[in-house]
Amino acid sequence: MAPPVHNVRPVRLRPAGRLARAVGADGPSQRDTRVTHPRVMASMRSSRPRYPGIRAIVDGSEAVAHVETRLSEVACVYPITPSTTMAAIFQAGVAQGMTNLWGTPIRFIEPESEHSSASAAEGVALSGGRVTNFTAGQGLVLMKEVLHVISGKRLPVVFHVGARALTSQALNIHAGHDDVMAVADSGWGILFARNAQEAADLAVIARRVAEASETPFIVAQDGFLTTHTLENALLPEDDLMREFVGDPRDHIRDLFDPSEALMSGVLQNQDSYMKGRIGQRAYTDRIPALLDEAMSEWAALTGRTHGRISMYRTEGAHEILVSMGTIADTAIAVVDHLRATGRPVGAVAVTAFRPFPGDALARALAGARAVGVVERTDEPLAVTNPLAREIRAALYDVAAEGGLVPRILSISAGLGSRDVAAGDLAAVFDRLADHGDRPERRFVLGIRHSMALERQELDLRPAGAYSLRGHSIGGFGSVTTNKLVATLVGELFDKYVQAYPRYGSEKKGLPTTYFLTIADEPIRLHAELDRVDFVPLHDVSAFGLGDPLGGLVDGGTLFIESAHADPEALWASIPAHARADIVARGIRVAALDTASLAAVHAPRPDLVVRMRGVALVGVFLRVAPFAEQAGLGRDALLAAVSERLGRFFGKRGGAVVDANLAVIAAAYDGVIDVTAALGLARPVDLTADPAAAATIPEGALP
């Protein structure tokens, strides 16, 4: 039973059996799965979970907004990149008159700063309201004063963080765990999501546990890498959330109820402050068991398993990689690859950074010889980085009792969204396997440095995957088009997809790169693509800004937006060195005047530039193999596209939806196969004459 709590008004919480029962924390394969709740038992007896989820293709921000617009009553937010989309969707729900699952109209409060938004959330929670906040980076750190107050007053709020690097030698708006680590001592539960699926599920689980333990929670996901990455997910059903979390009136104390007045946030001196501070352990000591119970019940109801840690192929592993967020997702693919070569490796994802699962990690790592802890932060003046420190502390008790413990290497990676590829993690495993007596214990990935581990060349996309890397200009609508292509392909052809942009801080008017992978299996990698099948360019000038053909597979497709309708003129516009490479590698070149299409069909002048991007949908559907593989002809394909366009452009009106469909259809019909028109469809054999392709005259055939 939970310790008694004195001097607070009673509130109807969850049944005692659900509060008191403790289960293991080692993930579904290791934990005690005995469940006593009758709803759980009934669900576990069924071959199909009661709540299998709503199939969707969403990013992490949309996944969170799906949950919070249904569970919360109020969002108190000062928007900050990269969490802004969560706030925008919630605010749109308010504008549309949306109510939560219990019929309460949702409300949005935007004060003048992140600090004030946390204070506003405190006020809502004190009055018994269910409240959320979306923040990141400097905004989260600015809140820190209030975060301590919220936890001290036992207010069960849930904040969502698009984890972001803090401003240091320079401003950066991209992924890092600096911000979350800066507030890890604030008394909040902290959960890290690896992907959009976990962002949705953990949002619900955190809400349940926050209210059962009267402890605030942060649910963090990697900024941009999860918040803005579109992928397949099973969103929680309304009935599931209604049952699993319950009506806020049944679970949240109203500390501002004048009929039962209570003083909160008072001044305490030497005689009482410490008693109140230590007394809060009556709440926090319950959290591990509550988390385990909630995750166990969630698995029974949905079939989706989560644990405070998630172990992957750690049985018999000599080397284990530990991480949080998207890196932990990538680690799964790397472990599978190395296991296939006979290497005894494994991975552990830490989901609950607070409360820290020290005992579970000590058990999980006990048989390993070396452990690499990869983190999106760097603390050079500390003994080691935060997660590695916690793991060392967890292993100390084992060592103190004479047990053998693994070597712990601390690796900094992915700061400010620096790419973390599968080859980087393979390099970590190689270093872990070097059991020589080397003193180094700290390393970095992804940069040139004396502490750096060298990346390996490794393509671990699922077998048969088809990938795209696009080059465009911010403001052309290409990133939105990439999301549209991903959604259409994922739904029409029943594929797994992953679409994400590489934003610069500057965005509009400057180069933008975007990526898309399509596969028959889940896509674990969260890195820029080194190997792609299709490269669309906004203009032939892209050849002057880099190497658009780099990483394009032999026989792949290059699409160029161009005003040239004549294949020979377009071919001549491509630099000679690129033409040589195209011919030598059998690359197919397609082209289309998208600007003219947009000008003809755009219903308003301000949409002309953005509608150039949507033409890529028609081009992709024409040149990619999926429609042909599915046996869909032009008319059936465009009819299916038409059914889905309303979700993307419907709020702009029917005329805009129709115009976008017209551009897609015209692009599908009008795309020019340049290489076929010029007879360049097959590669030139350069083994006899390596200079052959380079000497092709402009406008002439080889």
CATH number at residue 438: 3.40.50.920
Please give the pLDDT value at position 690: 40
Instruction: State which of 405, 430, 453 marks the end of a domain.
Output: 453
Same domain, 600 and 562: yes
Amino acid at position 69, single letter = T
For residues 436 and 484, state if they share a domain.
Answer: no
In this structure, is the dihedral angle defined by the CA atoms of residues 212, 214, 215 and 221, taken in order, positive or negative?
positive
- Asked whether residue 394 is domain-assigned, the answer is yes
| Secondary structure letter of residue 175 according to DSSP | B
246 within some domain: yes
257 part of a folded domain: no
| 686 within some domain | yes
Name the residue type at position 367: G
User: What's the CA gap between 517 and 122, in Å, rounded?
Assistant: 42
Residue 504 has pLDDT above 70, yes or no: no
Q: pLDDT grade, residue 652 (50/70/90)? A: confident
Which of 429, 453, 477 is where one domain is finished? 453
Expressed as residue numbers, the domain containing 492 is 466-695
Residue pLDDT, tens place only, 369-398: 999 999 999 999 999 999 999 999 999 989
Q: What is the pLDDT of residue 476?
A: 72
pLDDT on residue 611: 85
| Span 443-471, average pLDDT | 96
pLDDT, tens digit (0-9, with 9 covering 90-100), for 200-234: 999 999 999 999 999 999 999 999 999 999 999 99
3-class DSSP state of 436:
coil
Indicate if 241 and 362 belong to the same structural domain. Answer: no
pLDDT score recorded for residue 644: 87
Provide the total of helices (H) and of strands (E) in the chain, helices listed first: 27, 23
Q: What is the CATH number of the domain that holds 38?
A: 3.40.50.970
Residue 6 lies in a domain: no
For residue 688, the model assigns a pLDDT of 37
For residues 148 and 31, membership in a common domain is answered with: yes
CA distances, 286 to each of 1, 192, 213, 254, 496 (Å):
9, 20, 7, 22, 38
- Coil vs helix vs strand at 109: strand
Dihedral, 38, 39, 44, 47 alpha carbons, nearest 10? 130
Confidence class for position 282, pLDDT limits 50, 70, 90: very high
SS3 content of the chain, % helix, strand, coil (to 5): 40, 20, 40
Tens digits of residue pLDDT in 520-529? 999 999 999 9
- Per-residue pLDDT, 2: 40
List strand residue ranges (DSSP E) for 294-360, in order.
Answer: 309-312, 319-323, 345-350, 352-354
Q: Are residues 200 and 246 in the same domain?
A: yes
The mean per-residue pLDDT over the stretch 192-207 comes to 98
**Two structure tokens written together for 271:** 């005689």
Q: How many domains does the chain have?
A: 3
pLDDT value for 681:
62
Lowest mean pLDDT segment, chosen from 9-23, 61-75, 507-521: 9-23
Note whether 162 and 293 are same-domain residues: yes
What per-residue confidence (pLDDT) applies to 38? 38
pLDDT at 17 over 60: no
Q: Same structural domain for residues 471 and 393?
A: no
Q: Given a cut of 50, is residue 697 above it in pLDDT? A: no
Q: Using CA atoms, how far apart are residues 51 and 205, in angstroms rounded to an integer?
A: 15
User: Alpha carbon of 15 to those of 51, 58, 300: distances in Å?
Assistant: 22, 35, 18
CATH code, domain carrying 628: 3.40.920.10
| Residue 505 pLDDT level (bands cut at 50, 70, 90) | low
142: left (phi over 0), alpha (psi -120 to 50) or beta: alpha
E strand intervals along 567-634: 588-592
Residue 572 in this model has a pLDDT that exceeds 70: yes
Examine the pLDDT at 682 and tell me if it is beyond 90. Answer: no
Burial class (CB in 10 A: 0-12, 13-18, 19+), 110: middle
Q: How confident is the model at residue 609 (pLDDT cuts 50, 70, 90)?
A: confident
- The CA distance from 489 to 481, in Å, is 12
271 and 143 both lie in a single domain: yes
- On whether both 275 and 343 belong to a single domain, the answer is no
In the chain, % of residues over pLDDT 70: 89
Indicate the pairing of strand 552-561 with strand 588-592: parallel
Whether 455 and 446 have beta carbons less than 8 Å apart is answered as yes
More confident of the two residues 486 and 262: 486
Q: What is the average pLDDT across 118-146?
A: 98
**What is the pLDDT of the chain when averaged over all its residues?**
89
Domain's final residue, options 396, 418, 453: 453
Residue 480: what pLDDT? 85
Please tell me whether residues 413 and 296 are part of one structural domain. Answer: no
Q: For the residues 435-440, what does the mean pLDDT come to?
A: 83
> In the predicted model, what is the mean pLDDT of residues 183-210?
98
540 & 687 share domain: yes
Joined tokens for residue 687: 């083994």
Phi/psi of residue 40, nearest 5 degrees: -70, -45
Do 544 and 593 fall within a single domain?
Answer: yes
Q: Say whether pLDDT at 102 is over 60.
A: yes
Encoded tokens for 155: 């207010």
User: Would you state the pLDDT for residue 680?
Assistant: 84
Per-residue b or e along 592-620, where b marks 16 or more CB atoms closer than 10 Å to that residue's CB: bbbbebbeebbbeeebbbbbbbbbbbbbb
Q: Is residue 437 part of a domain?
A: yes
Q: How far apart are the first and last CA of the chain?
A: 83
| CA of residue 437 relative to chain centroid, distance | 38
Give pLDDT, residue 507: 61
| Stated pTM of the model | 0.90
More confident residue, 613 or 134: 134
| Residue 237 maps to a domain | yes
What's the distance, CA 2 to chain centroid? 35
- Reduce the DSSP state of residue 297 to 3 states and report it: helix
What pLDDT does residue 279 have? 95
Examine residue 9 and state whether it is found in any structural domain, yes or no: no
Q: Please say if the pLDDT value at position 583 is more than 60.
A: yes
d(CA 602, CA 649) in angstroms, rounded, equals: 13
Report the pLDDT value the prediction gives residue 647, as an integer from 0 to 100: 82
Which range among 202-211, 295-304, 502-511, 595-604 shows the weakest confidence by mean pLDDT? 502-511
